[in-house]
Structure 1
Amino acid sequence: MSSHHFVKEQQEPAVIILNTEGLNFDGISPLLEWVPTVLVWQECLDTVLSWGIKIDVILATETFQKENLQLLEEQYPVKFLTASPENTLDEGLQYLLATKHPAAHLVGVSHLRCMDLEGKLHLFDLTIMDAGWKYYPVKSGKFKKWFAESTIQILGREGMPVEISNENGKLMLPLIYLTQLEVLEGITEILGTGIFWVGEKVNSES
């Protein structure tokens, strides 16, 4: 593939696709712009292949691998990585750690997994794409961003106090597991006492 830009190997966030329900190619294509490493769970394989995406690793059970050996030729140089439905995400992240990928988009991973991933945030920059929303962690506990008028979500430890400020003033509240917030156009700042995640609707972006 000829390429006129110089992207260091592994610099692009990898993409792990574990569920394609409610997802179309347009929703994921921005993540593929610089040809990242793509890992796909076996149940999503047909859908992802139909999008014409180059897949690097198929996360699959041993049974699936035995029954689909032809994929290694058809999709060369794809590899199989053994995983079970319970540990696909862990296996995928373990692979990215071993291959020195510092960042990943987790597609079709439930936002309910946010808290489980906190132990991995010192190893990776992670973004979760779930049902039309994009969630990213605020590791420092301090967040500041310009938003168009929209709805955002804040996820964090139940009861963690956060302070939200924008043109309307300041608001202090304890997080319930998922706090939905209407924000005005302009800068919104959020301060928390620990890690929290911010969710934005993806399909409302142009």
Structure 2
Amino acid sequence: MSSHHIVREKQEPALYIHQLGNFDEEFLGQLLEWSPTLIVAASEYEKVISLGLKVDVVFGNDENISTQENTKFIYSQTASLPTVVKYLISEKYPAVNIISQENKFDDLASFLQDINIVLFTDTDKSYAVKKDFSVWKQAGSIFKIDIVSYFETDNLKQEENGDFVVIKDGFVSFDFITEYLFLSEPLH
């Protein structure tokens, strides 16, 4: 058996490429490691297939796009993030990684009860966490926290620029009263 496993039972997060931009190809390779369902905005399709990738679903309004064999085309006025996330929820995906140029959850927060969403940009990984979340991090690791309400944390120190830095190797925990807290971490 080869070392490249094919997982197609929705155990892995789907990958939606909304805007590829200058996203690092090494990170892209890591997101593709377990052969997730690959969904692409029509505007990014040519760029994605030029990387030698097999696309499962294309979202957009250009019906004349020439797709790969066995690629499903879903007509949509816009390949907006909410449209694609609604599709993934209807298809029973538990999670999705999204590559975009913005890491804002403004249009996506209402879907978080139904699907786990991680947003990737060229520089950051952003995600929502639920109450009593904790994670092990090395000293010096950085979090950017979208402060929408009061929260408490341990093992973090806020810098003058607003970033939060892990003080010592170990767990960082977050306690807050809202449903979610939105965190970002630099990719590099």
Aligned-residue offset at 1:44: 1.2
**Contact 2:24-2:122 at 8 Å conserved across structures:** no
Matched, 1:130 2:121: yes
Deviations 1:137-164 (A, max 9, x none): 112x22212222122111242xx00112
Q: CA RMSD in A?
A: 2.5
Aligned-residue offset at 1:5: 5.8
Aligned-residue offset at 1:30: 0.9
Out of 133, 154, 159, the residue aligned to residue 165 of structure 1 is 154
- Taking only the aligned residue pairs, the percentage that are identical comes to 27
Deviations 1:96-141 (A, max 9, x none): 12221111001115222x13322111110111102321111112x2
Counterparts in 2 of 1:96 and 1:127: CA distance versus 1, 3 Å: same
Q: Which residue of 2 aligns with 1:101?
A: 93
TM-score between both structures, scaled by the size of structure 2: 0.85
Q: Which residue of 2 aligns with 1:80?
A: 73
Q: How does 1:130-149 map to 2 (within 5 A)?
A: 130-139=121-130, 141-148=131-138, 149=140
Residue correspondences, number: 183
Q: How does 1:1-206 map to 2 (within 5 A)?
A: 7=7, 9-61=9-61, 64-65=62-63, 67-68=64-65, 70-71=66-67, 75-85=68-78, 87-108=79-100, 110-112=102-104, 114-139=105-130, 141-148=131-138, 149-157=140-148, 160-166=149-155, 179-186=162-169, 187-194=171-178, 195-203=180-188
**Contact 2:82-2:107 at 8 Å conserved across structures:** no
4+ residue runs over 4 A deviation: 1-8
Give, as a single letter, the amino acid of the residue that structure 2 aligns with 1:91: T
TM-score between both structures, scaled by the size of structure 1: 0.79
Q: What is the CA–CA distance in structure 1 between the aligned matches of 2:29 and 2:168, rounded to whole Å?
A: 27
**Contact 2:123-2:186 at 8 Å conserved across structures:** yes
Q: Which residue of 2 aligns with 1:175?
A: none
Q: What is the CA–CA distance in structure 1 between the aligned matches of 2:132 and 2:162, rounded to whole Å?
A: 17
Aligned-residue offset at 1:88: 2.0
Q: What is the CA–CA distance in structure 1 between the aligned matches of 2:6 and 2:14, rounded to whole Å?
A: 17
**Contact 1:40-1:55 at 8 Å conserved across structures:** yes
Aligned-residue offset at 1:4: 8.4
Q: What is the CA–CA distance in structure 2 between the aligned matches of 1:88 and 1:6, rounded to whole Å?
A: 28
Counterparts in 2 of 1:3 and 1:151: CA distance versus 1, 3 Å: closer
